[in-house]
Structure 1
Amino acid sequence: MTTTTRNAAAAGPVDIGPAHPAPLFQPGRIGSMTLRNRFVQAPIFTQFATTWGEVDQRLVEYHRARARGGVGLIITENTSVDWELGRTVGNPMRIDHDRFRAGLTELVEAVQNEGAKIAVQLHHTGRQNSQGNTERNEPPIAPTAGITSAFGTPPRAIEESEIPGLIDLYAQGARRAKAAGFDAVELHGAHGYLLSQFLSPKTNRRTDAWGGPLENRARFALEVVEAVREEVGTDFPVLYRLSVEEPYEGGLPLEDGLAFCELLEPLVDALDVTGGNYDTAMTLLPMVPPGSLLGYAKAVKARVSIPVIGVGRLTWLIDDLQDAVGDEELDFVALGRSQLADPDTVAKTRRGEPERVRRCLAVNECVSRWMFNGQRTRCVINPGLGQEQRAGEARRPAAVRRRVLVAGAGPSGCEAALLAAERGHDVEIVERADRVGGQLHAWGAASTFRAEIGNLVAFYEGELRRAGVRVRRGTDVASVDLTGYDHVLLATGTETADTGVDAVALLDAGTVPESDEVTVFGETETALFAALWLAEQGRRTTLISPAEGVGVDSNDMEAGHLAGQLEALGATVLTGTPDPGGADVVRATTRRPSDVLEDAVDGARVRAIGTRARGGRMYEATQSGFWAAAEI
């Protein structure tokens, strides 16, 4: 196997805008590429491409907004080099034919015109695919047959004669990327996809020259890198994304991952470091405290001299990361889900306004509710995600200034009030409680998302002040004279359909029951939050669900995470069990829409919005509030 070293010759100076003293805002280099700062948008699968993988206006505007938001480098989502056998489920981008160059070039120009650089991520699923997702209903392919992934379809083994063709798929994708004007390519060798399958002893049990000891298991990836380098030349930046460890039995051990990084060092220009695969999804999509993956990047940086990119809910650790980059513990900071929540994260932070960032809640609705179910990615706190052009039009000043009353300061009411005020209307909120946030306070009572929910409430409070929205707390809209308002939006949410102890009221008040043993009855996300909070207060807690699962209105990852926390606290969970009855049972079944001022609703001047109108949870609330205000 030959070895080709990269060329790190310096490029000429570039205009990166006003100087900023903080290390994260200093320019950085990856090979011959100079970036305006140390922020990278991590590759996130959006499914915004067309059904056949072409770049369209939705995908262009999504990337344009994030380039305008200030990151130095955008790495596209997993872009297919093998549409027939190796595309991911849904609507991925593709780069497996020259016909896709036109759309890819438009995407590149949109990003570059905003001052950012863009790399395309070359991707092949390997075994992490389903037979129904292949073009001819063939089994997915893998180094070794029969070792299924989280997707559940047994793969067939790759014949040795097929390997040169697979390597060439990556090389041709890189050739097309350079021709389309991309600034760099990244090889997706992370998260259990084909490149990492060859590297992992769990998924590579071959006995030929492509399996066995690390040198053989690394051979496929290294030959892919060499083939890509031959196509793009020594001056074109090549990045490699890898899971440096697979934290499950038989997976890639950390020491092998670090040794592999040393093999890659002379061949690539940067290492983009993460961990895990979709069999250990909570590793690569953490809902745990920020920075859980950062140790991997620092461990790699201690072993190599080329730039290293770290990832893992890092918007919460910006101050710490200034020191880490300044001390050369890592070189670049990748933002993933946080860029879905707020494309202007970097710009706001640079301006010294971090409190204005919509910080990702890490509830994984984007992934588990939508992406895993073949739908376009959405965000519970960013109504404009995937609708950037339409959302921009919605923010245009209104032709006529109106007087708007919003009833309810939960997520829906806040979103409606903020957009209406941004458009120039005279906006007032009335809120029955003594604080902004609505049911957010109940969802944030348990420790799991307390910091995230608390931050979101503070965000809404701050933005309402800045927008000049008058907030009247402790005021029931039923007592307000509506005649002086041009528009009334009733964002009064939902109310309990049960008699007895309401879980939302209990969590909102934070009143701990006197009894040492407490039963929660309900199948909802709220039931999980209530049981978890009670267990954290030291109560022996039993959660009874009438359904066959718990948190059935939540996404699978969140429900599983909360259930695991309940188990760790010693709580009992019973499913498919009837209502035990009793006045002391905390009730968290499906709620009903509020009917406050129901007789006044006319669908024109007075409208119901949010979960009161649409049902659902936070996503439905924020969407409804934002787009209702867009119509005024």
Structure 2
Amino acid sequence: MTTTAAPGTPGSPGTEPEMTGPLFRPGRIGSMTLRNRFVQAPIFTQFATTWGEVDQRLIEYHRARARGGVGLIITENTSVDWELGRTVGHPMRIDHDRFRAGLTELVEAVHDEGAKIAVQLHHTGRQNSQGNTERNEPPIAPTADITSAFGTAPRAILEAEIPGLIDLYAQGARRARDAGFDAVEIHGAHGYLPSQFLSPRTNRRTDRWGGTLENRARFALELVRAVRAQVGDTFPVMYRLSVEEPYEGGLSLEDGLAFCEMLAPMVDALDITAGNYDTAMTLLPMVPPGSLLGYAKAVKERVSIPVIGVGRLTWLLDDLDKAVGDEELDFVSLGRSQLADPDTVVKTARGEPDRVRRCLAVNECVSRWMFNGQRTRCVINPALGQEKRAADARRPAAVRRRVLVAGAGPAGCEAALLAAQRGHDVEVVERGTRVGGQLHAWGAASTFRAEIANLVDFYEGELRRAGVAVRLGTDVGSVDLEGYDHVLLATGSEAADAQDGIDAVAMLDARVAPDAAEVTVFGETETALFAALWLAEQGRRTTLISPVEGVGVDSNDMEAGHLAERFAELGGVVLTSTPDPGGPGVVRATPRRPSGVLEGAVDGRRVRAVGSRLRGGRMYEATQSGFWAAAEIG
């Protein structure tokens, strides 16, 4: 990838980089010309209002990502049927003309930053719950009683209802065009309504809308025709498709590719993914990057229109630059990575990929918050969803202060970076020999090891660039605090269990396993899962004992499930609701307590506790607390 660095702050106006590789050259989708080949994937943020309206939070979120360099933004799943087909939480809506004002403001904000924007037209179909419908009705689907991950049995759609459902999409497309959007995308992926008609698992109809592939494809094809009738032949129409459903009875890859050939003459681009929420680990992979890319390349071999690929691709940009140049695909879609760092594209284009906050793929954004009806957040980006407030926080301080940060974990690094960015003189002292704190323990097991190592490198590099003085191997207790205007104690947590045993965090940090063939890990935490997995990877026969019903209970369900599955693959045994076995050889990973270092010096003003020491929790709480504490330094 050939790039030329340009001066200026990433994402700031007037510092457009010189983009020379194929990924950074303009591309076309129908009549729409994009400044490069990067697309922001549709990501459900829940930043709309309770009633689905666009507000300033949603606008500023999109503005930041348009400023960050992508060529096209595709909005999150925007509801065409608020009564029966909206997703759980706070989605955008486009089911009535009265929403045009907010939608138009969103479009203008993105256009002001040089990007294009498409709206994604969405209907949940069966992937909904009865409690989420406007009149407490069952969700609808091609066939009754085939439940989804959302757990409510749907009723069957009557044939007489189908034209009305199709018209909901068509009218949504008309409103999108009238609001100034550059394109529309029909959400036919991830198990939503059009894909329910296409899939033989969820469509068992015996009328002309079910049975053969041609009949199962009829709903989607008629939907596209209706959209075209509203927006015209030159307005770009894209289609997002799960080209395979990797479970028994689901859409086969062969049928998915054949459907792409049916669609290609009717749409301007295909946005290719796989799976649905019954196979959530497929569509939200935590596995090595590029797991979905083969699907896009397979589609590209069958169609002549542009194809968009997705799947943790920020780790593969050099390969993708070649793939675009070789016409193996046309556009690269960035999803969760855009939550972690909206400036990914512009930083990469400047030859500064090491300055990108790369997504860890731990799925806190999805499983901890989105799936629980909360606004999307990111464990490593404190500004997500608070873009305007964060921009204000980064403004230079009125008075330059001397700031001491104790602890170089995520909280300490975030605090030091923001304080230095605001113009303060910042010094970090760290008891250990490396920047990163407990990140080193979390990165011991192979799962997320590369991601955690990259984050540590990111912090080290950013601290150096910011001019922060970092003193390793230094205990804050040996430092004279009187020479500092502000002291932030980001010293994290410590083992709370007074019993004999091996502290899991210390073991993982040192990468030294017990000298025994069989090892027991005791604890219900995420750390217990990491410790058990790492020990199994070291060849130890490992048993994980939890005192409660689950394991990794302070983690999100997807991460806990992923770690537990990998542990089981290595022969690990899990026992839940089991008492503490005790003994000096047991690796202990029960909940930790806040660090008490210099507790007597904390006054809440000049000397403050921050991070997990203050808030408890894990990485999200640490990064949030560190960043916003530094924002308050006057």
Tell me the TM-score normalized by structure 1: 0.97
Matched, 1:257 2:256: yes
Aligned to 1:428: 427
Aligned to 2:8: none
The one-letter code of the counterpart of 1:535 is: A
**1:16 shift after superposition:** 13
1: distance between equivalents of 2:385 and 2:286?
23
The one-letter code of the counterpart of 1:532 is: L
Task: Give the CA RMSD over aligned residues.
Answer: 0.9
Unaligned runs of 5+ in 1: 1-14
1: distance between equivalents of 2:483 and 2:317?
46
1:570-626 alpha-carbon deviations (Å, 9 max, x no partner): 001000000001101000000000000000000000000000000000000000000
Alignment of 1:215-614 (within 5 A): 215-498=214-497, 499=499, 500-614=501-615
* Alignment CA distance shift 1:303-1:421 (3 Å): same
1:433-488 alpha-carbon deviations (Å, 9 max, x no partner): 00000000000000000000000000000000000000000000011100000000
2: distance between equivalents of 1:326 and 1:448?
32
Aligned to 2:4: none
CA contact (8 A) 1:187 1:240 kept: yes
1: distance between equivalents of 2:331 and 2:115?
14
**1:407 shift after superposition:** 0.2
The one-letter code of the counterpart of 2:577 is: G
2: distance between equivalents of 1:401 and 1:544?
51
CA contact (8 A) 1:19 1:26 kept: no
1: distance between equivalents of 2:79 and 2:25?
33
1:250-303 alpha-carbon deviations (Å, 9 max, x no partner): 000000000000000100000000000000000000000000000000000000
Identical positions, percent: 86
SS at match of 1:82: coil
Write out the 4+ residue segments of structure 1 that deviate beyond 3 Å after TM superposition.
Answer: 15-19
The one-letter code of the counterpart of 2:45 is: T
1:10-38 alpha-carbon deviations (Å, 9 max, x no partner): xxxxx996652201000000000000000
Aligned to 2:28: 29
**1:512 shift after superposition:** 1.9
1:313-366 alpha-carbon deviations (Å, 9 max, x no partner): 000000000111010000000000000000000000000000000000000000
**1:513 shift after superposition:** 1.4
CA contact (8 A) 1:61 1:389 kept: yes
Aligned to 2:5: none
1:484-517 alpha-carbon deviations (Å, 9 max, x no partner): 0000000000000123210000000001211010
1: distance between equivalents of 2:589 and 2:318?
39
CA contact (8 A) 1:493 1:610 kept: yes
2: distance between equivalents of 1:215 and 1:36?
37
SS at match of 1:417: helix
Aligned to 2:621: 620
Alignment of 1:100-115 (within 5 A): 100-115=99-114
2: distance between equivalents of 1:33 and 1:22?
20
Alignment of 1:166-185 (within 5 A): 166-185=165-184
The one-letter code of the counterpart of 2:408 is: A
2: distance between equivalents of 1:305 and 1:567?
44
CA contact (8 A) 2:429 2:471 kept: yes
SS at match of 2:19: coil
SS at match of 2:391: helix
**1:408 shift after superposition:** 0.1
1:200-259 alpha-carbon deviations (Å, 9 max, x no partner): 000000000000000000000000000000100011000000000000000000000000
* Alignment CA distance shift 1:16-1:78 (3 Å): farther
SS at match of 2:261: helix
1: distance between equivalents of 2:48 and 2:515?
55
The one-letter code of the counterpart of 1:437 is: G
CA contact (8 A) 2:48 2:54 kept: yes
1: distance between equivalents of 2:496 and 2:70?
46
1: distance between equivalents of 2:181 and 2:113?
14
The one-letter code of the counterpart of 1:422 is: Q
**1:371 shift after superposition:** 0.1
1:160-213 alpha-carbon deviations (Å, 9 max, x no partner): 000000000000000000000000000000000000000000000000000000
SS at match of 1:24: helix
CA contact (8 A) 2:309 2:332 kept: yes
Number of paired residues? Answer: 618
SS at match of 1:451: helix
The one-letter code of the counterpart of 2:576 is: T
Alignment of 1:38-77 (within 5 A): 38-77=37-76
The one-letter code of the counterpart of 1:221 is: A
* Alignment CA distance shift 1:604-1:349 (3 Å): same
CA contact (8 A) 1:184 1:238 kept: yes
The one-letter code of the counterpart of 1:543 is: L
SS at match of 2:318: helix
CA contact (8 A) 1:433 1:473 kept: yes
Aligned to 2:10: none
2: distance between equivalents of 1:197 and 1:155?
12
Aligned to 1:629: 630
CA contact (8 A) 2:536 2:572 kept: yes
Aligned to 2:6: none
2: distance between equivalents of 1:449 and 1:586?
21
The one-letter code of the counterpart of 1:369 is: R
CA contact (8 A) 2:403 2:485 kept: yes
2: distance between equivalents of 1:19 and 1:418?
27
Unaligned runs of 5+ in 2: 1-13
SS at match of 1:225: helix
2: distance between equivalents of 1:55 and 1:555?
29
